[in-house]
Amino acid sequence: METRSQILDVAERLVQVRGFNGFSYADIAAELGISKASLHYHFASKAELGEALIDRYADRFGTALKAIDESGDEPQAKLEAYARIYADVLRDRRMCLCGMLAAEYETLPEPMRAAIVRFFDENEGWLTGVLEHGSAAGALELEGPARDEAQTIVSGLEGALLVARPYRDMARFEAAATRLLKSLARTAPSI
């Protein structure tokens, strides 16, 4: 299991930096000092590796969302914590794994495509719940249905990551995230 986990760690970093089509099994094997046959033992195909990457990433993201829920924070603070997940990825000079994969969507195998959509659907579902709670409590002002606002938040944060990346500028991302969340808040957010 240790080798499998190391393979996933290296592959995740490579996807977040280069994209899924920007690396090969040879890149992973060279970095880990193992044979390509060993990689194929753990992941018969690159598509299988890709699905495992998305599943693991989605599980970790889900764990982070659960921790935000369990914090007991107000809806605005939950939204800010959600945006910080993205900011932390950028601080590591990476992109959201599923955001990178979405950019390559048309070139990916169908099971990976379905997993990417599922990741975004789960995030939008979580955000929808936070937004509905915040609206009902009078803490957030929604201009439309909560689901539409949730889609805007995910799209806005993914886009902010993408644009901030070439500048290597956290302030650029944070300003965009703050403006995005401020549009919903009755009080100013702090990312």
> Across the chain, what does the average pLDDT equal?
94
Residue 46 has pLDDT above 90, yes or no: yes
Residue 190 has pLDDT above 70, yes or no: no
Residue 188 has pLDDT above 80, yes or no: no
Query: Which residues lie closer than 8 Å to 119 by C-beta, 6 or more apart?
Result: 54, 57, 58, 61, 98
Specify if 16 maps to a domain.
no
The percent of residues in the chain predicted with pLDDT above 90, rounded, is: 93
Domain count, the chain: 1
Specify if 160 maps to a domain.
yes
CA distances 134 to 68, 76, 89, 129, 131, Å, are: 14, 7, 26, 8, 5
Specify if 88 maps to a domain.
yes
Specify if 36 maps to a domain.
no
Specify if 100 maps to a domain.
yes
- The total number of residues shown for the chain amounts to 191
Position 157 scores a pLDDT of 98
Specify if 142 maps to a domain.
yes
- pTM to 2 decimal places: 0.92
Position 25 scores a pLDDT of 96
The residue segments making up the domain with residue 140 are 51-182
Residue 85 has pLDDT above 60, yes or no: yes
> E strands within 101-167?
none
Q: Of 68-72, 108-112, 183-187, where does mean pLDDT reach its minimum?
A: 183-187
Predicted confidence band at 160 (pLDDT cuts at 50, 70, 90)? very high
Query: Domain containing 158 — which CATH number?
Result: 1.10.357.10
Specify if 25 maps to a domain.
no
